[in-house]
Amino acid sequence: ETGVTQTPRHLVMGMTNKKSLKCEQHLGHNAMYWYKQSAKKPLELMFVYNFKEQTENNSVPSRFSPECPNSSHLFLHLHTLQPEDSALYLCASSQEGSWNANEQFFGPGTRLTVL
């Protein structure tokens, strides 16, 4: 695997389900991000992990719970979601502190549908 991978690519869940999204980066980066992408809206930054420490959560509802066990893996745990949470969830990584600051590399995303 190369770059940033995300699984699953598509997920349909009911409002009472619990599921998790997984992201893995193979780039040796030290920062990882979760974004929510909705149609015709700017990307919404949800969570940032820098050196495995969460540094930003942007007032995301508690039904979204991130986990970063190491610098290569990032999870987004989902529970009791709402239909308006249906969106494309993108994971990204970057190497903070490098000369090409903030160039983020993205995964293909997970298309989430909440019924």
Partner 1 sequence: AQTVTQSQPEMSVQEAETVTLSCTYDTSESDYYLFWYKQPPSRQMILVIRQEAYKQQNATENRFSVNFQKAAKSFSLKISDSQLGDAAMYFCAFNIYYQLIWGAGTKLIIKP
Identify residues 69-98 at the interface with partner 1 (CB under 8 A): 90, 92, 94, 96
Alpha helix ranges (H) inside the chain: none
66 binds partner 1 (CB under 8 A): no
How many residues bind partner 1 (CB under 8 A)? The answer is 26
Closest CB to partner 1 among residues 70, 102: 102
Q: Which residues are CB-neighbours of 90 under 8 A, at least 6 positions away?
A: 6, 34, 35, 36, 37, 43, 106, 107, 109
Closest CB to partner 1 among residues 20, 37: 37
Shortest reach from residue 81's CB to partner 1, in Å = 23
Among 85, 109, 112, 114, binds partner 1 (CB under 8 A): 109
108 binds partner 1 (CB under 8 A): yes
The type of residue at 72 is S
Using alpha carbons, list the distances in angstroms from residue 37 to 69, 84, 89, 107, 108.
Answer: 24, 12, 6, 13, 12
Cβ atoms within 10 A of the Cβ of 47, count? Answer: 22
Positions that interact with partner 1 (CB under 8 A) = 3-4, 31, 40-43, 45, 48, 50, 55-56, 90, 92, 94, 96, 100-109
